Structure 1
Amino acid sequence: MLPDKIPALKGDAARAFRAAIRRADPALAMRESLGQHPLPRPAHGCRTIVLALGKAAPAMLRAVLPRISGPRVMICVTHRENQEQVPGAEVYRAGHPVPDTVGAHGAERMREVLKSAVAGDVVIALISGGGSALLPAPPDGVSLEDKQTLNRLLLDSGLDIVAMNLVRQQVSQLKGGGMLRLAAPALVTAYILSDVIGDDLRAIASGPSVAPIGTPEQARDLLHSMGLFNRLPESIQRHLRNAPRANANLTARNHLIGGNRESVQAAAEELRPDYEIHVIEDPLTGDVNEAVCKTFRTLRDVGPSDKPRAILWGGETTVQVRGGGLGGRNQELALRMAALADAEPIAAPWVFLSAGTDGRDGPTDAAGAIVDQNTLARIRGKGQSPTEYLDRNDSNAALRLSEDLLITGATGTNVADVQILLIG
């Protein structure tokens, strides 16, 4: 074991992660896409309506501004940590991952503008990750507080993003194609930065410009199967029992401008001169306990090499919260990786990074963590039990003790998560 190599490995992992974030730069992705898919023009005397939503919304909107002429309406809803300014736009900085009143006001303003659209107007939707929670538009009879309760239950359930958005779409006036229904007969063109593994447009920001993932009946069945339906507010239970199926025939021009795969490749290219590179095509998804077994098996089973190795994944895991601690899926994954490697030590020096490209993992100030074979020893050295932290889902506190948190601040983008395993 050569522990003196660990700081250099950690520096390389952090450098590669920064490369992944740069590749997901929303302004760059927007400009490249507009070269292939120019903005449509409204009819004479009509408006361009630009609705930007998600964690990358300000940067995407700024990239579009120079290409808009004539009458316009511009609304931007992003998360409160993103302080980027957008001249001429109404900007709402809302709560995430739990919706708040600012997001509700932004959603209502978007609904008003969409309902005012006429056939000659064009609607430009700039969609990025986080838009689902940032833009609550509950149906009649459902309060914002009820939507907040729904979101908290879904976030703690262990459901993946597609399943969560199946439910969210059925309790919204904007999600699951709601933007198209409100804008009709105006044309909608969407530019979408994906935070969903596999780039299912129906799941990104809960799919405001595409047909819904499922039906109210399917949402009810899913919630019943998870034991969540009877825990929902009565208004949402009633709505899901009575909601009609949405019209799935409306279409938009949807353009995917970037996603997780491109960012993982950018991280790999950053490391390529010094490392033997392996990009794992099978993403890290599903329950964090299953995902960590894959990452640890990769570390344990790696063979000898004349060159340091870099193994990279993209993904988005889930955590079924059972304790009252503070953390996020990336911190949980990293701490569990360190625990498995502590129980079955590996001779070669290694580090493991797991982080969200938006710079925020769960309700914490960390993007994720970079752990190594000494992580648990550092926690124990401060008189604490790593197992107790894991039992209460308190990965943030544990990784703060071991000084392994990765803190980037809000990045202004979001293309899901990146995992990097470096072996010296």
Structure 2
Amino acid sequence: MGVPMRFEHLLQMAERPGLPEPIRRLRRDGLRALVEAIESVLPEVLLPAKVHLDDDVLAIDDVTVARKAFPPVVIVGGGKATAGMCRSLVALLEESTPFTGAVNIPYGQPVPDKITAPGRRGEVHVTFCSHPIPDEAGVAGVEKMCRIIAASPPETLVLALISGGGSALMPLPAEGITLKDKQAVNRLLLSCGASIREINCVRKHLSRVKGGGLSAVAHPRRVFSLIISDVVGDDLQVIASGPTVPDATTFAEADDIVRRYGILEQLPQSVRRRLADGLAGRIAETPKPGDPIFKNTVNRIIGSAQTAAAVARQSLAQRRYDAGIFAADLHGEARRYGAQLARQLPGFHAGGSRRAAIGTGEFTVTLRGSGSGGRNQEMLLAVLDELSETPHLEAHRLSWVVISAAFDGIEGNSGAMGAVIDSTSLERSKALGIDLRSHLERNDAKAVFQALGDLLVTGQTGTNVNDMTLILIDG
């Protein structure tokens, strides 16, 4: 598998002068596995493998629809991978198939404001908008999606292209809630340490399109939702807050979440009122499993972290590592996991001289300071901090590398996807006079890895699945 040019520079991080050859080899192999994993979940790779169109049928994974059943096609959706999904889908449509649509994607992606292909009978409007805090452009883009769907005939096939980041990129506040209110809620949820499941539970109960709302807009039209997952366990209800998925969560759960994290009193008054009205049954719940609006909706995941992990494992096995997947549900506070990993590193080495372990998931960060970083960087900084405080650990006597990265290319406020550390990182940080604990307390991991030259920077990758942590050890 070739390495796209925009990722090729990551491989050069293995060739740093002054590093011992065993460390350079581990870094080289780990970074190669990372970029091959990223490439495997690019939408232009995933979608053509799952969607097939010929003269008679449209086949999506295990579902087929006769072509005569959907003369017009409407394409909608949002997320960090949605532009690539849309380009690939439009290229698959035949010249005889009329289509229209609208999608929301993050600012900064190199995409024209309309997506089409030579000879095609239509175009999809592109709205650039803000992530992770929604903006007015995002609202306008979702309103455009709803108008296009509403104007289409009942026999229309609606193809929803949903990917990670869609929660922020597809905002449409519920009645009585302003965009400013939604922005305030997002900021509180993102900084309090809540998991993505908890965050999206609250979001769904403040929106007109999340939690199955997009299917409600499209009903009775047939909806096929193609989804690239960025959440642990690939829970359809959680990915982009499940706009085409029945929602099993409740107002009571949303209320409990904001109380448990101590942010209820900081919420805008309109939001507190809506949660109270929902608890009292004065406003309707989100659409639940069994609701007839989902009769014509099909949801299919076309790619996830499991896809990427399998490719990373194969890459490392080809380089003669005893490679395995040690976790598909990494979660919890980043600094706590990092401290645990520092103590557990020797365990990954047991039973072989060249071992590699792959984990996927997503950590959380509780903001305590005003530094720059992200969940993967904070986890790796916590590994180094723990090693600096415990010189007796066996990890100090091994050659190892740990890489942790967000597949969308941007985490936190750092502009980076993650970082790489190795068994020389602690000594190198000491030589630079870096106070690891001080940086950890300020949530300022980026400055550490920038100084070490070990920050992973790609810009937006155009996809988004769960984060990946790679551990390589050579005895």
Give the TM-score category using the shorter length: over 0.9
Whole-angstrom CA distance in 1 between matches of 2:66 and 2:110 = 30
Tell me what 1:206 maps to.
241
Whole-angstrom CA distance in 1 between matches of 2:159 and 2:348 = 48
| 1:30 and 2:51 matched | no
| 1:320 and 2:370 matched | no
Task: Provide Cα deviations, 1:157-180, integer angstroms capped at 9, x if missing partner.
Answer: 111111111011011111000101
Q: What is the 5 A alignment of 1:257-296?
A: 257-273=302-318, 274-296=320-342
Tell me what 2:98 maps to.
71
Q: What is the 5 A alignment of 1:160-179?
A: 160-179=195-214
| 1:340 and 2:386 matched | yes
Whole-angstrom CA distance in 2 between matches of 1:3 and 1:318 = 33
- Please list every run of 5 or more consecutive structure 1 residues that lacks an aligned counterpart in the other structure: none
Task: Provide Cα deviations, 1:377-418, integer angstroms capped at 9, x if missing partner.
Answer: 333333331111000111111211121111122111011100
Output the aligned Cα RMSD: 2.0
Q: Cα distance, 1:210 vs. partner?
A: 0.4
Tell me what 1:217 maps to.
252
Range with greater deviation from structure 2 (144-153 or 211-220): 211-220
Task: Provide Cα deviations, 1:202-241, integer angstroms capped at 9, x if missing partner.
Answer: 0000000001241122211211111111111111111222
TM-score after normalising by structure 2: 0.84
Tell me what 2:56 maps to.
none
Tell me what 2:4 maps to.
none
Tell me what 1:148 maps to.
183
Whole-angstrom CA distance in 2 between matches of 1:240 and 1:304 = 51
Tell me what 2:270 maps to.
235
Matched letter for residue 198 of structure 1? G
User: Contact (CA 8 Å) 1:378, 1:401: kept in 2 or not?
Assistant: no
Tell me what 1:129 maps to.
164
Q: Cα distance, 1:116 vs. partner?
A: 2.9
Q: What is the 5 A alignment of 1:104-119?
A: 104-119=139-154
Q: Cα distance, 1:288 vs. partner?
A: 1.5
Q: Cα distance, 1:291 vs. partner?
A: 2.4
Task: Provide Cα deviations, 1:342-382, integer angstroms capped at 9, x if missing partner.
Answer: 33352111111010111111122211000123324333333
Range with greater deviation from structure 2 (7-16 or 157-166): 7-16
Q: Cα distance, 1:77 vs. partner?
A: 1.0
Task: Provide Cα deviations, 1:215-273, integer angstroms capped at 9, x if missing partner.
Answer: 12221121111111111111111122224212321211111111111101111111113
Distance 1:204 1:304, change over 3 A: closer
Distance 1:379 1:342, change over 3 A: same
The one of 184, 191, 208 equivalent to 2:226 is 191
Tell me what 1:421 maps to.
471
Q: What is the 5 A alignment of 1:71-90?
A: 71-85=98-112, 86-87=115-116, 88-90=123-125
| 1:8 and 2:58 matched | no
Whole-angstrom CA distance in 2 between matches of 1:266 and 1:342 = 33
Matched letter for residue 309 of structure 2? V
Distance 1:8 1:224, change over 3 A: same
| 1:93 and 2:93 matched | no
- Please list every run of 5 or more consecutive structure 2 residues that lacks an aligned counterpart in the other structure: 1-18, 53-58, 117-122, 278-282
Range with greater deviation from structure 2 (93-102 or 238-247): 238-247
- When the two structures are aligned, how many residues end up with a matched partner? 423
TM-score after normalising by structure 1: 0.94
Identity among equivalent positions (%) equals 34
Whole-angstrom CA distance in 2 between matches of 1:112 and 1:363 = 34
